[in-house]
Structure 1
Amino acid sequence: MKELVFKPIAGRTEEIIDAILQTGEVASCTKELYAIHLVCEELVVNVVSYAYPEGVEGYLKIQIEKADGCITLKFIDGGVPFNPLERDMPDVSLPLEERQIGGLGIFLTVQMMDKVSYEHVGNENILTIKKKIDDEK
């Protein structure tokens, strides 16, 4: 398992996303890379932007494991407890001008990953995403 740790995280969104995508575990998932990239971008932006109150130096740990035909990424932060899976999913059948703002990132995450789960353990938010991978290049 690979673990990346970032502290502080303010202003480091692109650096964090790039570091995730450059790990051997993620970079080797060529067929799934677009979905993983999009989801990681959404999740990292949300943690950096919303997990911590203004003025609080936050951290983000990402644990990455590639095994048994799947890649699993855990996003762990010590921010305000928040389960994004409890939000109402946006109604994507509505015309754009009638949709409410927000929620599309977690909707895309749930749609593009094979499993998404959340838990709050020891004052940490842990959002886990899992994607089946095709190791044939």
Structure 2
Amino acid sequence: MITLRKKRETFQLKVPSETKNLEIIRSFIYRTAIKAGFDSECASRIELSVDEACSNVIKHAYQMKTDNFIEINISIDKEKFVVTIIDQGKGFNPEKIELPDMMEYLAELRVGGLGIYLMKTLMDEVEYDIIPGKKNIVRMVKYFYALEE
């Protein structure tokens, strides 16, 4: 089902940076993606991408400290579904993160380390804006045109 929009819609969620809140985030993302017109499979891919990004924020940016917040903004227009995740934690250089060789990864039975790989594989665009000492922004886009194919 494709929903045509005449104007942009926005949604926001702000939660404490605790792993127990990942369920709230997943539900928010999945339900919003379904309402936007994505099927269950695509909504689940978006949900997984956001879950990975938020897990990275909790684990790496905030180093498991629970006195911080994760802000999630969704913007939907007639062409795309955009999720923006904002935190004020420790930043990183996304250019230094190498995507894994999946054959090697599976052969070595590694665990973890696939978050960015999954995000880039499941979403149409993934961009980072790291402002050292201030905030980190991850922007992920899923286009609706893929629904028409």
Q: What is the TM-score of this pair, normalised by structure 2?
A: 0.76
In 2, Cα distance between equivalents of 1:67 and 1:103: 32
Residue 22 of structure 1, aligned match among 28, 31, 34: 31
Residue 117 of structure 2, aligned match among 103, 107, 110: 107
Deviation (angstroms), 1:21: 2.3
Per-residue CA deviations over 1:65-114 (Å, capped at 9, x if unaligned) read: 11131100001001101244530110013262336554312111111111
Residue 70 of structure 1, aligned match among 80, 86, 89: 80
Letter in 1 for 2:46: I
**Contact kept? 2:58, 2:64, Cα under 8 Å:** no
SS at match of 1:108: helix
In 1, Cα distance between equivalents of 2:103 and 2:69: 36
Letter in 2 for 1:125: N
Unaligned runs of 5+ in 2: 1-9
RMSD between aligned alpha carbons?
2.3
**Contact kept? 1:62, 1:73, Cα under 8 Å:** yes
Unaligned runs of 5+ in 1: none
Residue 129 of structure 1, aligned match among 140, 144, 148: 140
Size of the aligned set, in residue pairs, is: 133
In 1, Cα distance between equivalents of 2:93 and 2:110: 19
Letter in 2 for 1:30: F
Letter in 1 for 2:135: E
Letter in 2 for 1:27: I
Q: What is the TM-score of this pair, normalised by structure 1?
A: 0.82
In 2, Cα distance between equivalents of 1:33 and 1:83: 28
Q: How does 1:36-47 map to 2 (within 5 A)?
A: 36-47=46-57
Deviation (angstroms), 1:116: 0.6
Is 1:79 the equivalent of 2:89? yes
SS at match of 2:104: coil
* 1:89 alignment partner in structure 2: 99
Identity %: 30
